[in-house]
Structure 1
């Protein structure tokens, strides 16, 4: 043990010595150059002496002959290196005393007084070098730390004194000081090996890393920008101001579904296991996955004692945005998220982090591109042996199966599903957004008149998704009379799309006088052409599975805008967020779809427009025409197909029956998880219902787990069959479902309800009363 400690203590001496040979020497050289402004770079010191004025403020001509002499080694260095770059600290000190302008004479007290004079500071640095070179071969960590700090202070003060003496600028001082500090950090790391540091002062370094990482992470944005593509100003809102608890579903130890709210999401991890944890969180587009991670980040930055339980146990949180393209590895992520800590602890980061309780937030795995995919895989493989690490990953449901196959077996995987916002909280959610929007110029609404409509419409299944509630809030404030109690999701997007295009036209008329005098029909035609090009790009984005575009991927939109005379940036900014990113040859613009749900809708708009132009083409033919040689995976187009039902309704001529039937057939091939969802998306179209009934085999068990209204209508058209009811929460009205189930064989009813020890025989809860009026549940209600 003593020998091992001696090795570590010798390493500290080597560490200071190496700093002297590199950073300290470089800094003294810079000071000498400031003090000898009249020396030419390639001029030897001996040639410089020949032309040095006898009346110079330098000490050379006033020194005696012995002081003017250089030893053999020094003389050889000066003859071979005219720039003086190879001079060591001893030689630089001698040169400074002989040739620096405006310094004290050799015998002046300033060289030895130990004060703030430049002469004294340089002497102290030289003496410190001598102590290291000729003193003890070992020092302990405390002495090393003291010497390192002293060296940093001496160099900083010497730079300041030289700046004042030789009239250098503040900017130059700042740059030289920063170079010196970075140089010291790097040299200290290089000299003291990773193994030695980790074995000797692991806990100290860990504490410092955590503290400094927390400082770095304070700059992380915890603001959200709701519907910026509909607003004329950039409205960023503190996430806590608008965040509403969401529900999620997971399995308990017996495999039964349980419902929890988002405040418990971190606590679902099994913290008593010796395996790293991975929480696969699936949720539809717009279900609030990104907002949830922003809220988790905010509460952790605030100390982890807010509504999100369990965050206080984590030392670090790192977030990965899978839609970004500018990172390629875990190393890139650390360098980008923790720049100061990375600079100081580069080769120690991963060993230290593996000993920390660290939470990775991976946002939108379904939006991953080749770059972010590498980052995620790097994290998974690097931390698979770190039992204190936790990964919370969000994704749309369809991307989970492929991702699951890439998870290392070392992880303990937990699956949860975001169910959205509870019915009882939706009204307040919409109201909060309406209040926010009312603060914008020119936006007013009679909230009291809307309360009843909001309350009745929010109970519909598709309003569990926060994005749809935000759209509803914007619709309420912008066009309250268009809000319908039977509004489908596609109708909501159809309204939002029309509003975005309308606002685009208004901006064009205000900003471009030449367009203001154009015939309105002609302007509409040109904008429509540009929008079709944009929607085509959105379909290709769905095909290629990405939501982020680089400029060349939008070339078709750009050329269409140029040809029609419509400003391209106005079109792009109407639907996309624009971010400037660093590129190998400068900067590039990154365009991002704000929500995957909006991208799916725009892609559906393009398919619908092609169906209008090619009335004899099938949906499959239109999509395959865009796919080219890429094989068609019907599952990738599920949301597009659901939107097509609503879009077909808006054709000037009624869409042919076979088109509706084709959508149903394609959804069947995509293995749609809920026929009730399809019925609601089709707005209860009888052609669609009939087509669905034909696809359900006789004797198949019908599972009612969501979209109760749609299932109620579908069940009324089915022959008697076995039905299982598995509803994850309350619904506005169970009466239609009760009626539809009358002629079917109901084998089980499983209703998840947030209650504590209910008394079924005496309950006043209308939800349970409705169930008990149909079945004798008694004490079997759970």
Structure 2
């Protein structure tokens, strides 16, 4: 049902009795149109008026259709882009009056007056200090419950660690922009890091999947809640970007509040932008944000420093996505870049001790096991997510399976072991007397693995579309898969209420959302499915792989897990990556990248193909330096039969190389 914008805006925008200040003060002439005003206007303009406004601004029907297509059906985004495009074509001083006149000419009188007066959100009642204190208290309670309790064991959702029971410090490194070298950074100095002598408004914390970025964000929220840090801010707002969609800051905060706090999302939004210096935004998972930064939702504009310019913002991301910020010269100047590098050896030991507390025996045994296993110690243990997986399996494994753990070499092998462990754990809870007859147990196992591969199909499509939160309806063609995935532990399901904008344009009812416990689980199951297509759907495999190789850095972990599934797939991936280097078609693949993928395959045929490539494309002498990641070093050693290894640094590095080889 279409709404009339003029009458609708009259209902929405005219102040209620008591909303007006008794003494509004002198009337001042509004300044230039701001991006925030355009963003608010885009939200106010009714969808039925989009084309009318666009034509009045001088756009053609074809251009309006382009705006719609470019914003994937989000009409508010299309409207905002249209207004920004129009603003480029007029002088800033004349823009306000010209836009007001054009809106007046198409009978959007109320909107025209709002633009003319520069009071786009004046209709929204301001929050009182007492109301804001209510919000602060509620956000603290929400973050304490939802962000600062750690479910370290995905098999048991009923067991949650208090944050201070399990949190272990992470290694942070600050980047020198002139040399790109890194220096150790204390957590306490996180907001003291400077850019050319100035405290920056934007900090980008980078790290690989599973290295502890989300835990760092939770630590910030925890310290603010308990008065241990960040007390200069009245509000520290932790936002998981995978859950954002196109929500505004106000809508996100509103979703954190209990129902009995009758403050609107628009009031919250107005207050946050009017008190930017009081607010610290912690945005976790830029690489998990749906869509891309060209979609003009509020969060993207904050990341691009086009909104919330006076406020402090910390953003976490995997490297491939943070490169999008680095490539924008203006943002490169504004951001401080910090790397999170997981656990040091001492912190690793401390984490394991906390995990098993108060039982010291398994903690001591696992610490000893890791200290004696160079590959696990160097490659896996620094990553908190892999340490968690090692702890979970160590807790339940017997001597034989613990011995099998000592043979683990790669991330893929650890995930493979973890998935089979989850399946075995699920099967052990079933009535074995009822199913372990005539091979029923094996059939049940195969049925579960089939469901996991089916889930991988949705997982892969999600990675392609940069989507990490799904509706249960998206799995409707795979009956039983969601339930199986949740029972095994590779999926979680929760009910989400739609934002006001979603209710306005789509469904009014809450929906069940489906997620993976970590993006790496999504990537692993996607790799299972993609590998299966090599045999069962080759044309689809080729089509998908062409896109994946073109975005190789984004799909690094997916390529790891896929190449490990079977020899033929690993060799095919390596061949494609080598071809991309030789053709210089893609700039994000280098020899070390190929070595990493080959190492995950653990196949000698793949290693030989990479060695042959390296012998013809680079020096026959391999130099292992201090900056080389342990995983890449292990990969070079994996193919070293064809290369000579030297070290130009310390004896310690040379010793580590020799030990790893053995």
Fold match, TM over 0.5? yes
User: Does structure 1 residue 577 correspond to structure 2 residue 492?
Assistant: yes
Query: 3-state SS of the aligned residue for 1:460?
Result: helix
User: Does structure 1 residue 330 correspond to structure 2 residue 246?
Assistant: no
Match of 2:205 among 281, 297, 309: 281
User: Does structure 1 residue 414 correspond to structure 2 residue 414?
Assistant: no
Which stretches in structure 2 are left out of the alignment for 5+ residues? 1-15, 26-116, 499-506
Question: 1:641 aligns to what?
Answer: 559
Q: Which whole-Å deviations, capped at 9, do the CAs of 1:689-742 have from their partners, x for residues lacking one?
A: 552452362349856322244445556633689x766x9xx98x641537999x
- Please state how far the C-alpha of 1:505 moved relative to its aligned partner: 2.9
CA distance in 2, matches of 1:720, 1:477: 38
Q: Which whole-Å deviations, capped at 9, do the CAs of 1:340-361 have from their partners, x for residues lacking one?
A: 595595585145312x242111
CA distance in 2, matches of 1:407, 1:240: 39
Match of 1:735 among 648, 655, 658: 655
CA distance in 1, matches of 2:292, 2:614: 41
Query: 3-state SS of the aligned residue for 2:381?
Result: helix
Match of 1:586 among 500, 509, 514: 509
CA distance in 2, matches of 1:595, 1:656: 25
CA distance in 1, matches of 2:580, 2:390: 27
CA distance in 2, matches of 1:293, 1:665: 38
Question: 1:470 aligns to what?
Answer: 388
Query: 3-state SS of the aligned residue for 1:578?
Result: strand
CA distance in 2, matches of 1:294, 1:347: 23
Query: 3-state SS of the aligned residue for 2:151?
Result: coil
Q: Do the aligned partners of residues 702 and 230 (structure 1) sit closer, same or farther apart at CA in structure 2, a change above 3 Å counting? A: same
Contact 1:364 1:394 in 2 (8 A): yes
CA distance in 2, matches of 1:248, 1:676: 26
Contact 2:139 2:256 in 1 (8 A): yes
User: Does structure 1 residue 662 correspond to structure 2 residue 575?
Assistant: yes
Question: 2:441 aligns to what?
Answer: 520
Query: 3-state SS of the aligned residue for 1:313?
Result: coil
Question: 2:171 aligns to what?
Answer: 247
Question: 1:234 aligns to what?
Answer: 158
What TM-score results when the alignment is normalised by the length of structure 2?
A: 0.66
Contact 2:298 2:307 in 1 (8 A): no
CA distance in 1, matches of 2:254, 2:292: 15
Query: 3-state SS of the aligned residue for 1:557?
Result: coil
Query: 3-state SS of the aligned residue for 1:529?
Result: helix
Contact 1:329 1:375 in 2 (8 A): yes
CA distance in 1, matches of 2:371, 2:288: 33
Q: Which whole-Å deviations, capped at 9, do the CAs of 1:441-460 have from their partners, x for residues lacking one?
A: xxx97444444213223522
Contact 1:248 1:261 in 2 (8 A): yes
Q: Do the aligned partners of residues 629 and 346 (structure 1) sit closer, same or farther apart at CA in structure 2, a change above 3 Å counting? A: closer
Contact 2:208 2:318 in 1 (8 A): yes
Contact 2:207 2:317 in 1 (8 A): yes
CA distance in 2, matches of 1:425, 1:550: 38
CA distance in 2, matches of 1:224, 1:666: 46
Question: 2:137 aligns to what?
Answer: 215
Question: 1:369 aligns to what?
Answer: 290
Q: Do the aligned partners of residues 581 and 210 (structure 1) sit closer, same or farther apart at CA in structure 2, a change above 3 Å counting? A: closer
1:134-149 paired onto structure 2 within 5 Å: none
CA distance in 2, matches of 1:332, 1:281: 25
Q: Which whole-Å deviations, capped at 9, do the CAs of 1:486-536 have from their partners, x for residues lacking one?
A: 5222111111100122233344548x9799998333323332322221122
CA distance in 2, matches of 1:631, 1:386: 36
Question: 1:49 aligns to what?
Answer: none
1:425-440 paired onto structure 2 within 5 Å: 425-435=347-357
CA distance in 1, matches of 2:379, 2:129: 48
CA distance in 2, matches of 1:227, 1:347: 34
CA distance in 2, matches of 1:338, 1:381: 27
CA distance in 2, matches of 1:407, 1:577: 39
User: Does structure 1 residue 300 correspond to structure 2 residue 224?
Assistant: yes
1:195-206 paired onto structure 2 within 5 Å: none
Q: Do the aligned partners of residues 403 and 578 (structure 1) sit closer, same or farther apart at CA in structure 2, a change above 3 Å counting? A: farther
What TM-score results when the alignment is normalised by the length of structure 1?
A: 0.57
User: Does structure 1 residue 597 correspond to structure 2 residue 529?
Assistant: no
CA distance in 1, matches of 2:135, 2:280: 13
Match of 1:503 among 409, 414, 425: 425
Contact 1:693 1:718 in 2 (8 A): no
1:97-246 paired onto structure 2 within 5 Å: 211-219=133-141, 220=143, 221=145, 222-231=147-156, 233-246=157-170
CA distance in 2, matches of 1:641, 1:430: 30
- Please state how far the C-alpha of 1:578 moved relative to its aligned partner: 0.9
Question: 2:101 aligns to what?
Answer: none
Extract structure 1 runs of 4+ deviating beyond 6 A.
Answer: 137-140, 512-518, 627-631, 738-741
Question: 1:681 aligns to what?
Answer: 600
CA distance in 2, matches of 1:486, 1:637: 26
Contact 1:384 1:411 in 2 (8 A): no
Contact 2:153 2:159 in 1 (8 A): yes
Number of residues of Structure 1 aligned to a counterpart in Structure 2? 515
CA distance in 2, matches of 1:712, 1:382: 44
Q: Do the aligned partners of residues 601 and 737 (structure 1) sit closer, same or farther apart at CA in structure 2, a change above 3 Å counting? A: same
CA distance in 2, matches of 1:446, 1:301: 33
- Please state how far the C-alpha of 1:595 moved relative to its aligned partner: 0.8
CA distance in 1, matches of 2:249, 2:389: 36
Query: 3-state SS of the aligned residue for 1:556?
Result: coil
Question: 2:315 aligns to what?
Answer: 393
User: Does structure 1 residue 606 correspond to structure 2 residue 529?
Assistant: yes
Aligned CA-pair RMSD: 4.5
Query: 3-state SS of the aligned residue for 2:643?
Result: coil
Question: 1:748 aligns to what?
Answer: none
Contact 1:548 1:590 in 2 (8 A): yes
Question: 2:610 aligns to what?
Answer: 691
Which stretches in structure 1 are left out of the alignment for 5+ residues? 1-16, 24-136, 141-192, 306-310, 439-443, 562-566, 650-654, 742-782
Question: 2:113 aligns to what?
Answer: none
Query: 3-state SS of the aligned residue for 1:420?
Result: coil
Contact 1:300 1:312 in 2 (8 A): yes
The structure, 1 or 2, with the larger RCO (C-alpha pairs under 8 Å, 6+ apart) is: 2
Q: Do the aligned partners of residues 348 and 626 (structure 1) sit closer, same or farther apart at CA in structure 2, a change above 3 Å counting? A: closer
